[in-house]
Structure 1
Amino acid sequence: MIEFHNVTAFQQQTRVLEGFSLKIETGEKVAILGPNGAGKSTLLKLITRELYPLDREGSHLKLFGRQNVNLWDLRSRLGLVSQDLQDDYTPYTSALEVITSGFFGAIGAHGHLQPSADQLVQARAMLAEVEMAGYEDTMFQRLSTGQRRRLLLARALVHRPAALILDEPANGLDMGASLGMLRLLRRFCGPEHAMLITTHHLDEIIPEIERVVLLAKGRIVADGPKAEVLTSERLSDLYQIDLRVSEQDGWYRCWHL
């Protein structure tokens, strides 16, 4: 589904990735874990085509098997939830309009992009799915951070994408909102969806995620099954601090000694 091969990418004047290779198969559930500045957000922006890699011989980034992807087609196959997207949203967009904008890959409501009757039905059903029935006409700016994040999840899922891309999905949420968001992610984590989460918090890695990639300074330092990667030794090396890791019912947590 996603294949990086020997990719180099810059953010402004800073080289974030160099010679980077990673493959994610259709339907896989993967977490990319790493400290701030590791390159996690750059990785996602390359996938969503907000950034493009350096054009070099022997290097490619393929999405759904193709290097050249139609952006409209890509938006229908990927669902995105990120803090950047949340920050960009027009404050006077209603909750229902946030969800219907997902059909068009738009940010906010636009007069020339009118949802069909069937799309409105789907959007209202998704509003209920994320436990926000009754908020249809509420403006985005009047919602809590947790409610805004749930709306973005509904927007991402309304067109039934092949992959759900989440950049630190519980970032900035209080404990209740964070747990609620993770519960919704588990509900929508079926076999028909691939899921890619970037985070630096172990508690955002839901039990359904099977594979973890550790990223540091733009390079992969570990990649494999969750139980093999999320160890005290590996995470201590990653964060340069003495950590201990424990697991219970598929959830992982760590603490500093």
Structure 2
Amino acid sequence: MTESTHPWLEMEAVEAWIETRCVFHNLTLSLRTGEHTAILGPNGSGKSTLVRLIDRSIHPVVKPGSHLRLLGSDLPLQWELRRRIGLVSTELEQRVPRRVRVIDLVLSAFFGSIGLRQDQTPSNTQLDRAFQLLELFDIAELAQERWTCLSDGQRRRVLIARALVHQPDVLVLDEPTNALDLRAKHRLLNQLRQLCQSQTTLVMITHQVEAIIPEITRVICLKDGAVMQDGPKDHILNGQALTTLFDTSLQVIEAGGYRQVMPLS
């Protein structure tokens, strides 16, 4: 993928609150299309708040010298965000109705809902696209299954398929491998590696270093609501930086393009 100089996310001196807690005091960050990126940080670092700013479920404080632009706009149209930015979050997963069928959940992305309503009738083209994505993630046989019957790994793949219906410019995944067993994790990571060969920019938001696939080129370390480090993956994923980020003595072992974090003996 050829890198673009055009940022899809621009944050300048952003202040953001969750209820009575100020998560970001003065966050400045830019993410560009064509640049596969991991945003890495411990629990409580602000990762989930960043996701909520991207999906516009919360908004930053309006103040002089501060802005948050998505797709080059301070006030992007909701339909354009859905079309160009695919997003999978823990919050979305928790909102899925237990009895919804897999195929209906994927198709509902065309209508901006979570599950199909009676007044929403997919076209043949939309049906073809949904089944194509289920095939891509090896879950076509689950099309008629109910959400409640799926494993964690299957649910994650269904939601990623749903996020890709519009062939978005950017795919944002919040903790994509969380709660997955080793087989499900490796299967999902292999599929994300294949996805990186397309024209979709991947952004992984995670606290798991081992989930960062080889195709990721940039790593942003987030801690206490601020960017601690930001740069090429090979410069960031080392024992010294990760020891500071996670407040524990760590060493890094690399194999096959992946990193594994171990306690420093």
TM-score normalised by the chain length of structure 1: 0.97
Q: What residue in structure 2 maps to residue 107 of structure 1?
A: 114
What is the TM-score of this pair, normalised by structure 2?
Answer: 0.95
Match of 1:231 among 230, 233, 238: 238
Q: Deviations over 1:40-83 (max 9, x none)?
A: 11011101111100001110001111111111211111111122
Q: 1:252 aligns with which of 249, 254, 259?
A: 259
Q: List, as ranges, runs of 4+ consecutive aligned residues in structure 1 with deviation greater than 2 Å.
A: none
Indicate the residue corresponding to 1:26 in structure 2.
Answer: 33
Aligned length: 257
Provide the residue aligned with 2:24 in structure 1.
17
Residue of 68, 78, 88 corresponding to 2:95: 88
SS in 2 for 1:124: helix
1:138-177 equivalences under 5 Å are: 138-177=145-184
Show CA shifts across 1:104-131 (max 9, x none): 2211121222211110011111111110
Comparing 65-74 and 219-228, the one that deviates more: 65-74
User: Which segment drifts farther, 60-69 or 102-111?
Assistant: 102-111
> Residue type of the partner of 1:254?
V
Aligned residue among 108, 128, 134 for 1:121? 128
CA contact (8 A) 1:27 1:191 kept: no
1:66 aligned to 2:76? no
Q: What aligned pairs does 1:192-211 form with structure 2 within 5 A after superposition?
A: 192-211=199-218
- The aligned residue for residue 3 of structure 2 is none
SS in 2 for 1:134: helix
Q: Percent identity?
A: 40
Q: Which residue of 2 aligns with 1:133?
A: 140
Give the whole-Å Cα distance in 2 for the aligned partners of 1:118 and 1:247.
Answer: 44
- After TM superposition, give the deviation of residue 154 of structure 1 in Å: 0.5
> In 1, distance between residues paired with 2:117 and 2:68?
32
Aligned to 1:214: 221
Are the counterparts in 2 of residues 232 and 243 from structure 1 also a CA contact under 8 Å?
yes
SS in structure 2 of the partner of residue 91 of structure 1: coil
Q: Could you tell me how far 1:256 is from its partner in structure 2?
A: 0.6
Deviations 1:217-248 (A, max 9, x none): 00011000000011100100111111001222
Contact 2:51–2:89 (8 Å) recurs in 1: no
Question: Aligned partner of 1:163: which letter?
Answer: V
> Which amino acid in 2 is paired with 1:55?
V
The root-mean-square deviation of aligned C-alpha atoms, in Å, is 1.0
Find the aligned partners of 2:156 and 2:198 in 1 and give their Cα distance: 23
**Cα distance between partner residues in 1 of 2:113 and 2:87:** 12
Flag structure 1 segments of 5+ consecutive residues without an equivalent. none
Corresponding residue SS for 2:43: coil
Report deviation, 1:191: 4.9
Contact 1:30-1:195 within 8 A present in 2 as well:
yes
| Cross-structure match for 1:7 | 14
Equivalent of residue 62 in structure 2, options 55, 74, 82: 55
- C-alpha deviation, 1:249, in angstroms: 2.3
